Amino acid sequence: MDDDSPHLRGALIVFEGIDGTGKSTQIELLARYLRACGKDVVTSFEPTRGPWGMKVRQAAMAGERLSIEEEIACLLQDRREHVRDLIEPSLEAGKWVLLDRYYLSMMAYQGATGANVELIREWNEEFATIPDVAIWLDIPIDMALERMNARGNGQDAFENEPFLQACSRIYSDMEMPWLHRVEADGCINTTQSRVREIIRQELGV
């Protein structure tokens, strides 16, 4: 007998926070857990390595910034392509998508540069898929900078204390029912336990 039941849509889980909070590590651990639970998991990140995302990345790694208008234009175009080419097709296929940064990062980082935070949210939510869950990994700024320095890659144009303090303040002011703050200054496994508890509560896994 043919199965005519509709294919279940996947879930979009976003990890947010300043650099050095351990987003990529927590995504890797959660992906492993979800796959063990039988989920088909896709991981990705923003800005992507497409042409628009790389324009922002390369400027930042050179210790420079594009103009705020150009940054916003590039990031919006990068996200449009990401939603169209990877995020939505994966969700429609029933996959669980885990993202390292999404439009909340744009609200925090470009907002800390002086752009209107609510306008950024509006521009994104005109086309960007709303997350099922967003996890804000929160750690003290000095700890984040210490971790970044320990990586030995040098600091990019976004990685200075006053700027990161401004980003953290914007994150702390965000109010979305699907956004959850997780203290991430303890051990990796403790943070992952907190993340999984939120996923269990919100998505039943």
Determine contact, residues 97/79, Cβ cutoff 8 Å: no
* CATH number, position 42: 3.40.50.300
- For 131-162, the pLDDT digits (tens) are 999 999 999 888 888 877 776 655 555 667 88
Distance from CA of residue 66 to its chain's centroid?
21
Verdict on whether the full-model pTM lies above 0.85? yes
User: 119 CB contacts (<8 Å, ≥6 apart)?
Assistant: none
What's the structural domain count of the chain? 1
Q: By CB neighbour count within 10 A (0-12 exposed, 13-18 middle, 19+ buried), where does 152 fall?
A: exposed
Structure tokens at 134: 């967003």
* Structural domain span for residue 156: 12-203
- For 104-127, the pLDDT digits (tens) are 999 999 999 999 999 999 999 999
Q: What is the secondary structure of 53-80 as a DSSP string?
A: HHHHHHHHHTT----HHHHHHHHHHHHH
In a domain, 4, yes or no: no
In a domain, 5, yes or no: no
Structure tokens at 152: 């030995």
Q: Output the average pLDDT for the chain.
A: 92
pLDDT score of 160: 78
In a domain, 7, yes or no: no
User: 183 CB contacts (<8 Å, ≥6 apart)?
Assistant: 138, 139, 191, 194
